[in-house]
Structure 1
């Protein structure tokens, strides 16, 4: 599929409606803490041009991090005091984490928020990388930067539901493995939301 068609598909997906998601979507028996305070965060769902079409840029988080060590994630993070909004936070974090300059990013919109078990309200910022860039992983936060083909990301058939024990109970979650990369949890849930919009 031509890249121009893939870009139009992403833009059209933004026009679809869907509810916010959370790490608890597949676990309705989990009781949310009363009066919980969610911290706003923004992640960059950035697609770049590859040899065979668009590719999604993802990271493997450092195993030394406090939150989600070693997991596959979007570049991004919590909103800091100096950030204008979640979009600014996502762009700043992508610059810091993988060396993606904000001037090289075209933001095309945002997807519904996602609540994580670590009490973040994450806004996925859908974007296009204007020109090729060489990722520079921030050693303290990112072990690796890699990309996943558009066709893998937007195909609901690539996603499955698995489970494991967490805090004394069985927790179910989405997965979308790609090669050696185990994409799961919040990242997979947000991508599954995008896939659902694309295939409507």
Structure 2
């Protein structure tokens, strides 16, 4: 317990860093995932190709390698941003590929006839997707999207290796002060557990409210 009480400010700063990374990267992942899922089911061939390429490349690229590409590659093109923003970009883009596939699987559960009926009424592709298809697909993708965002929260630990303040990185500071490393990791694990349980509780609530009836 002394490890926690005597280093509360260090743990708290790391915990807040992890929460910030998780929240902002999740918002980016959801936005990009929705966009790429729309591309993948769009009637325009070039959009489908772009969406497929996005998912294929990011799903098959190690997240650590993506961090290196973003943190070291973008500055070469004159894009210099705070390390935390780079980390959000890497986490958000990587996770968006998995969000995209979860959304696309939900879209595929909606009967094709409903989209065709909507188009026969004169609706555009965007209207069909937003008014008819996605509201129904959303009900079935709540659990997989929640699981993906929980994975994002745990993946945020990689950011600590790139000078970003987050929970796992606190062990270095505390270890240098001579505290028991085992108890340090125990309290770090508790911090991650709080974050993941909060996400799980949110998506359990969404599933109870809007999910597919069992």
TM-score by shorter chain over 0.5 = no
**TM-score, normalising length: structure 1:** 0.21
Q: Which has the higher helix share?
A: 2
Q: Which has the higher strand share?
A: 1
Quick one: higher RCO (CA 8 Å, sep 6+), 1 or 2?
2
Larger radius of gyration: 2
**TM-score, normalising length: structure 2:** 0.20
